[in-house]
Structure 1
Amino acid sequence: MGWSTSELARLTGTTVNTIRHYHKLGLLTEPERMSNGYKQYGASHLLRLHQIRRMRELGIPLADIGAVEDDHEQQQLALKQLESDLGEQIAALEKARTEVSQLLEHGAPIDTASGFIDIAARMSNSDRALMNIYSTLYEESALAEMRSIMSETTPYDQEVDELAEDADDATRARLAEQIAPSMKRQLEAKPWLLAPTERMTGDVKMGQAAIIGSLRELYNDAQIDVIQRAFIAVFPTLEIPDADRERFIAFIKHVAAEEEG
């Protein structure tokens, strides 16, 4: 009893092209041809295809099947690696499912960074976008501290968020004075923010450029001016270690030198 390529494909729940692909990879031997020139597959091919399909169902890559099929030790190694990979995939899926549930629960935009979902409603679109970028640049502990900053809002934050680019000088000066106390408190509690590249992961130079470019894109000149005024006012009064103050000065000099270069 024998089968044609299409019949074998139907028997094994695969396709003719898949069978041909297995031939090319050397995973399935070519069958003998009948007198009329047609291929005739036998039981050994049927069993082999079921074996391949089983290994594929378990997640073993096609490239590894040839090496593990008749070697028990290699099979065990492949299964252990597969078990580890599946554990990581399951953990990633469980994390994604949890975050999807949180996004639905809080009605947060789909691009909200992990860890900021429950406070997304209190964040401006610009702040939320910036935290999304930060989530790819900073270590987890730094992001946790960023989250605490975003959780603490003042009555003036929304006014700064909505500040028009043509806001007059008096408005800018008033807002800078109003946000200064909160800024001072945050910088004294988290002085690493003065030189934020200290807590970055990956390429620091590229991360720094990403932040500078994002700030200019997300916030208008008036908003940046208010933040700069507030910082200039509070920096001399910050109660922080000398090392943090010196690190900030070195950071500013480094940024200025790079921009000039």
Structure 2
Amino acid sequence: MKSGELAHMAGVSVRTLRHYHAIGLLPEPKRAENGYREYEAEHLLRLLRIRQLASLGLSLEQIAPMLDELDAERREVEGRDGGDGTSDELGAGAEQLLDELDRQLVEQIAHLEHQRELIRHIRTRQTDPDYPERAASVLEAIDAFERQTSAHGFLLSALTDDDKIAMGIAAHLYSDAELAEIERIFRAIPERGLIDEYLRVSHLIDTLPGNASAEERERAIKAGMAFLDKIADCMDVSNWLRPDKDYERMLENMAMVHYNDAQIAVSDELFLRFTERLAQRNV
């Protein structure tokens, strides 16, 4: 048989044959006088066995020792009792490979079942498939919050295009604990009747002129602190005391791009003081 004929009968490509030769998985046949490889029936059987093991999920690196062990076992059986070369038991190496393959398949099945469950949730809850399902609750809380406020605020209520990008990134990259904190905050504000105060503080910061006096800045900081104190129990202290992550610094820079110097200074000082207050409560 020529390589094309062998490949056709085995259901593989000629390029696959060459690869199997290169990695030593399929023995090289003798060449005819014209230089072409001449394959025998044993090569076809070897190729079909490789394809069968690959269909089970074994890698090419696993298939080679599996075939070697199976061949050795068959030779041993033939030499022992003159049988047909088949054995009722697999060797330890083959058993170990099959056990590992079975474990991997169990994990894959569990992963596929989880994916199906996520798809079901997406359909029933009308959530967006391009966002993690675990972020659905926090995104719903923010959407509900912005419908009630109808205004942009200093906690970023996902109203501007930049805010929507920021919250989208957070939905993908924040941990479950961080997302849960955001959800608690945005649900607590309307539940505690704090929307008007939130908007007043936001307006106070957003209208600060670039040359705001020290007194004006301090007034805005104190107003922010008074508001944050009313939702401090929603905060997970560990989220505030750890170093900022790369994407958090990027999101902060996005949020501050439209702020003037005074607003940036007030925002930085506000969250610095509040973080210190949280740390003191945690002592």
TM range, normalised to the smaller chain?
0.5 to 0.7
Q: Give the superposition deviation at 1:51.
A: 1.1
Give yes or no for contact 2:138–2:180 (8 Å, CA) kept in 1: no
Structure with bigger RCO (C-alpha 8 Å, 6+ apart): 1
* Correspondences of 1:65-80 after superposition (within 5 Å): 65-71=63-69, 72-80=91-99
Partner of 1:168: 207
Going from structure 1 to structure 2, the CA distance change for 1:235 and 1:209 (only over 3 Å counts) comes to closer
> Structure 1 residue 216 and structure 2 residue 253: aligned?
yes
Q: Give the superposition deviation at 1:7.
A: 0.9
Partner of 2:150: none
Partner of 1:192: 237
Going from structure 1 to structure 2, the CA distance change for 1:168 and 1:50 (only over 3 Å counts) comes to same
Rounded to whole Å, the distance in 2 between the matches of 1:143 and 1:54 is 46
Going from structure 1 to structure 2, the CA distance change for 1:152 and 1:97 (only over 3 Å counts) comes to farther
Rounded to whole Å, the distance in 2 between the matches of 1:43 and 1:150 is 71
Partner of 1:12: 10
Partner of 2:155: none
Give yes or no for contact 1:102–1:117 (8 Å, CA) kept in 2: no
Identity of counterpart residues, as a percentage?
26
Going from structure 1 to structure 2, the CA distance change for 1:221 and 1:107 (only over 3 Å counts) comes to farther
Going from structure 1 to structure 2, the CA distance change for 1:58 and 1:147 (only over 3 Å counts) comes to farther
> Structure 1 residue 38 and structure 2 residue 36: aligned?
yes
Give yes or no for contact 2:131–2:172 (8 Å, CA) kept in 1: yes
Q: What's the RMSD between the two structures over aligned residues?
A: 3.9
Q: Deviations over 1:131-189 (max 9, x none)?
A: 32313xxxx445444443344453749x86xx79x94139x9789858954x3344234
AA in 1 matched with 2:247: A
Give yes or no for contact 2:3–2:37 (8 Å, CA) kept in 1: yes
Give yes or no for contact 1:5–1:41 (8 Å, CA) kept in 2: yes
Going from structure 1 to structure 2, the CA distance change for 1:235 and 1:75 (only over 3 Å counts) comes to closer
Q: Deviations over 1:207-240 (max 9, x none)?
A: 534322222214643887786686588779x7x7
Q: Give the superposition deviation at 1:242.
A: 4.1
Q: Give the superposition deviation at 1:32.
A: 2.4
Q: Deviations over 1:94-129 (max 9, x none)?
A: 333333443344444444234122442443223343
* Correspondences of 1:112-127 after superposition (within 5 Å): 112-123=131-142, 124=158, 125=164, 126-127=166-167
Q: Greater CA radius of gyration, 1 or 2? A: 2
AA in 1 matched with 2:170: L
Partner of 1:201: none
**Structure 2, gaps ≥5 residues long:** 70-90, 143-157, 159-163, 210-216
**What is the TM-score when the length of structure 1 is the normalising length?**
0.65
Partner of 2:103: 84
Rounded to whole Å, the distance in 2 between the matches of 1:178 and 1:156 is 13
Q: Give the superposition deviation at 1:84.
A: 2.3
Partner of 1:257: none
Partner of 2:185: 149
Rounded to whole Å, the distance in 2 between the matches of 1:129 and 1:193 is 20
Going from structure 1 to structure 2, the CA distance change for 1:63 and 1:118 (only over 3 Å counts) comes to same
Partner of 2:173: 133
The residue matched to 2:245 in structure 1 has which SS? helix
**Structure 1, gaps ≥5 residues long:** 198-204, 246-261
